[in-house]
Copies of this chain bind each other. A is one copy, B any other.
Amino acid sequence: MSENLSARGDLRVAPSLLRYELLHVDAQTGARRGRLHTPHGTIETPVFMPVGTAGSVKAVAKDDLLTLKASIILGNTYHLMLRPGAPLIAKMGGLHQFIGWDRPMLTDSGGFQVYSLAQIRKITEEGAAFQSHLDGSKHLLTPESAIEIQETLGADIIMAFDECPPSGAERSYMEPSLARTTRWLKRCHAAWSQQRSSLFGIVQGGLHEDLRRRHVEEVCAVDLPGYALGGFSVGETPEAMHAGVAFCAPLLPKDKPRYVMGVGTPRDLVTCVASGVDMFDCVLPTRTARNGLLFTSAGRLTIKNARFVDDQRPVDEKCSCYTCRTFTRAYLRHLFVSQELVALRLNSLHNLHYFLTLMAQAREAIERDVYGDFLKEVLARPNAAP
């Protein structure tokens, strides 16, 4: 950390803004224990990155994220470009300063939300034209503008503009899409200033192994600080996703960080870590928390369930989060059923703590060369909490 802090000034203008250290590979699996040095601090990997869609990890504030020891959070370019807009964020000193977060950040390219949220969208060689889901205003995202906006936001890690084809897309749709994503990647690389933000490429290809292999080669032919696997957890079964990631991840360069986008459940995380993945993001812990679904070491728990009405136990007896140290299931059920706002924060705190702690435990298991045992233990956890 001290090395990183002292080097911060240099890193901000150095050709290599990001540095990945592979510390250890687990003897039982391919799980990697690493360290990612960024201009805003060091990230211990494997890491789970909470999603701060519109510049806020929903229902939790910075103080909570610091308590949770979140080392990096995400911002969504699609949401931020529409509201409050990149020019305003630039005027406010960049995304870090605007939202008051001085640890590492990552922004996605906006492409995924264009495909999943925008009212009307049209993909051409130039880019993706779409109408805002907020007010119907018309926008165009191109590889160049996606990079320009992300560099304006100023996150430590920015993502290439790609197309994420629907789950189960036919080979006949997939092949030209992948070729275009590769052309877009080269345009992203050409547009990238390399001044402050480190650009990651994204591999697509759905569940077609040959297409994935070919696209890994195309994407990794562009020399970038890191690579991501996109197009997973978009509707396929967990087993298919795990197999796809297990196939692709080892094809990525060993000396660069590997990021599987939009994944996933605790089981997804520990399984993909075994395949050598270093970075994850997902709205799952916060979104489910707002719906009253809590993850515990003894399984999942739906807090509004009537059986918790007089349950004096904490949500998870093994958990050390603020929610579990302070409140009973009975009270949390009452808060949720009564639609008290604080329920959403307390639930989100707990779920984020569960995900972040799971990754801390994974890191420790890798260091001790017992990751295979840890994986088995996590996969054996029951589905539903007693």
Which residues of A does B touch, CB under 8 Å? 54-56, 58-63, 83-84, 88, 91-92, 98-100, 290, 309-310, 312, 322, 326-328, 330-331, 334-335, 337-338, 340-342, 344-346
Contact = CB atoms under 8 A, between A and B. Distances in A.
A92 B333 CA distance: 13
Contacts of A340: 54-56, 58
Contacts of A100: 326-328, 331
Contacts of A328: 92, 98, 100
Given A92-B328, A331-B99, A331-B100, A56 B342 contact: yes
Contacts of A327: 100
A342 B98 contact: no
Contact of A55 (B60, B84, B331): B331
A61 B332 CA distance: 12
Contacts of A345: 61, 341-342, 345
Given A56-B335, A83-B334, A61 B310 contact: no
Given A59-B341, A59-B342, A62-B326, 20 more contacts: A54-B338, A55-B331, A56-B342, A58-B341, A61-B342, A61-B346, A63-B322, A83-B334, A83-B337, A84-B330, A88-B310, A91-B310, A92-B310, A92-B330, A92-B331, A98-B331, A100-B326, A100-B327, A341-B344, A342-B345
A342 B98 CA distance: 15
A95 to B, nearest CB: 10
8 contacts: A55-B331, A83-B337, A83-B338, A92-B310, A92-B331, A341-B341, A342-B345, A345-B345
Contacts of A341: 58-59, 290, 341, 344-345
A214 B227 CA distance: 81
- Copies of this chain present in the complex amount to 2
Contacts of A59: 341-342
Contacts of A322: 63
A326 to B, nearest CB: 5
A91 to B, nearest CB: 6
The residue among A55, A309, A338 with the most chain B CB atoms within 10 A of its own CB is A338
A99 B343 CA distance: 12
A98 B61 CA distance: 25
A386 B11 CA distance: 40
A96 to B, nearest CB: 11
A312 B83 CA distance: 17
A88 B310 CA distance: 7
A330 B334 CA distance: 35
Nearest to A286: B341
Nearest to A348: B341
A98 B60 CA distance: 23
Nearest to A61: B342
Contacts of A55: 331, 334-335, 338, 340
A342 B101 CA distance: 15
A326 B269 CA distance: 33
